[in-house]
Structure 1
Amino acid sequence: MRTPGQVVGAFAASHSPGITGWPERATAEVRQEVDSAYREVARRIEALEPDALVVVSVEHFTNFNLGNLPAFAIATGDSYLGPVTEEMARFVNVSQRRHPGAAPLGRHLYEFALDAEFDPSLVEGGLDFDENFSVPLKHLDPDARYPLVPVIVNGVNPPWPTPKRCYDFGRMIRDGVAAQSEYSRVVVLATGGLSHWVGLPESGQVNEEFDHDFIDRLTDGDAGRLTDYTREEIDAAGNGAHEIRTWLVAAGAAQTGFDVLAYAAVPEWLTGTAVAAARL
């Protein structure tokens, strides 16, 4: 009899294209801190020996558009191309590669979500990556070793799913992993955030007060505090700050607090940059 699946690790990291595309613009101290944190997460993931990674990010209109922008989506492909084009690959300084897909786990999670009263979109076949997945995976899975289940959360354009809904979606993923046995060891990885503005005059600014408050809540791990955000509170940290929804999914899957391995306000990378690991 197979052992039920388990979320054995949960991590979260920023995915600014500057992290890989123009790292030299940040100070040596910042680069060292962020690179060290990414290396530590890569080491921990390897030590966990996962059968699959559920990678949660936002959609930058690479696959969806304003006429079709789901609150949540689960992909069930056999493989995924990232970055999507050679131009994007040059922009983020990540070589194009095919990442293997954990298609059976993706299909299971989709069906489990429906039974759990969630209604995510189903992405059968292709889902192309931009910086959302490609930047962190360059650090954490450079050889494309781990089978992936990409999950999309709308964090780019209103109306967004509420913070609580995102947290509960993560808890559903945790329960879904436990309701199957083909993939016994699963790691959840969230990417995005923290504070930043995209395509607006404020681009390059960082709201450190918001970032530190969010980090404090993430470290504490209390679901009530983590999800007690209004739209206006997140707006104050930029339209890109709504990407913290992916971190809330990871927190729901972890059901525990996180240790923040790195944080720096990096206007040169246009974002508050952070890397964190759940205390599992």
Structure 2
Amino acid sequence: MSRNGQIVGVFAASHSPGITGWPERAPADARAAVETAFAEVRKRIEELRPDAVIAVSVEHFTNFHLGNLPAFAIATGDDYLGPTTAEMADFLKVRRRRYPGHAKLGRHLYTYALESEFDPALVEGGLEFDENFCVPLEHLDPESTYPLVPVVVNGVNPPWPTPKRCYDLGRTIRDAVEAQSFAQRVVVLATGGLSHWVGLPESGSVNEEFDRDFVARLESGDPIRLTDYTQAEIDAAGNGAHEIRTWLVAAGAARTGFDVLAYEPVPEWLTGTAVAAARL
């Protein structure tokens, strides 16, 4: 008899294009801390031997636009192109490739979400990656070994899904994984944030106070503290800070606290940069 699936690891990381595109601009100690944390997560994922990775991020008007901007989307493709253009590949210093997909798990996750009263958009093919997945995966899976189920959360333009709704989606993802047996070892990887401003005069600023408070909430694992944000509180850390919603999805999937392996305020990368692992 087949065992049901389980989430064997949950991780979260920032995806600033500077992490791969211009790493040398960061202070040497900050760069070393972040890259060491990525290397640790890569090692842990290798040891976990996942059958699939559910990768949760935002996207930056690469696939969606203001005429069609879902709160959540789940992709069910066999593979995904990234970076989306040759110019973006040069900008990110990431080799353009086809990332493998786990279509069967994606379809199961989408159906399970519908049956759990979520209404995500369905992307059956053609989803392309920008820095959202390409940057962290360059550190965590440079050979594109693990089949992916991309989950996209709107973190780029209001109205956004509430923090609690994002956390609850994570809980649903965990339930969905445990309700099937064809992908028995699953890792959840969330990417985005922390504080940053996109396309605004404040670009290059970091709200370190917000970031440190957020990672403290993440370490606690307390769902009330994690989801107790108003839009204005997140706005204070920049329009890009709304990407913490992907971390909240990861927290809901983990249902426990995280160890923050690195946090560095790196204006040179335009972002408060962190890497974390759930205490599973």
TM-score range for the pair, normalised by the shorter chain length: over 0.9
TM-score w.r.t. length of structure 1:
1.00
Question: Which residue is 1:235 aligned to?
Answer: 235
Question: Which residue is 1:266 aligned to?
Answer: 266
Question: Which residue is 1:256 aligned to?
Answer: 256
Give the alignment of 1:189-228 within 5 angstroms.
189-228=189-228
Name the Cα RMSD after superposition: 0.4
> Secondary structure of 2:245's match?
helix
Question: Which residue is 1:91 aligned to?
Answer: 91
> Secondary structure of 1:194's match?
coil
1:181-232, Cα deviation, whole Å (9 max, x unpaired) = 0000000000000000000000000000000000000000000000000000
Question: Which residue is 1:156 aligned to?
Answer: 156
Distance 2:41 2:195 in 1: 21
Amino acid at match of 1:191: T
Amino acid at match of 1:145: T
TM-score w.r.t. length of structure 2:
1.00
> Secondary structure of 1:259's match?
strand
> Secondary structure of 1:89's match?
helix
Using the TM superposition, give the Cα deviation of residue 12 of structure 1 relative to its aligned residue in structure 2, in angstroms. Answer: 0.2
1:85-131, Cα deviation, whole Å (9 max, x unpaired) = 11000001000111110000000000000000000000001210000
Give the alignment of 1:78-157 within 5 angstroms.
78-157=78-157
1:66-91, Cα deviation, whole Å (9 max, x unpaired) = 00000000000000111111100000
Task: Quote the sequence identity (%).
Answer: 77
1:48-68, Cα deviation, whole Å (9 max, x unpaired) = 000000000001000000000
1:15-74, Cα deviation, whole Å (9 max, x unpaired) = 000000001110111111000000000000000000000000001000000000000000
Distance 2:41 2:98 in 1: 22
Aligned residues: 280
Distance 1:116 1:80 in 2: 27
**Structure 2 unpaired stretches of 5+:** none
2:21 corresponds to 1:32: no
Following TM superposition, where does structure 1 have runs of at least 4 consecutive aligned residues deviating by more than 3 angstroms? none
Distance 1:208 1:75 in 2: 33
Amino acid at match of 1:142: P
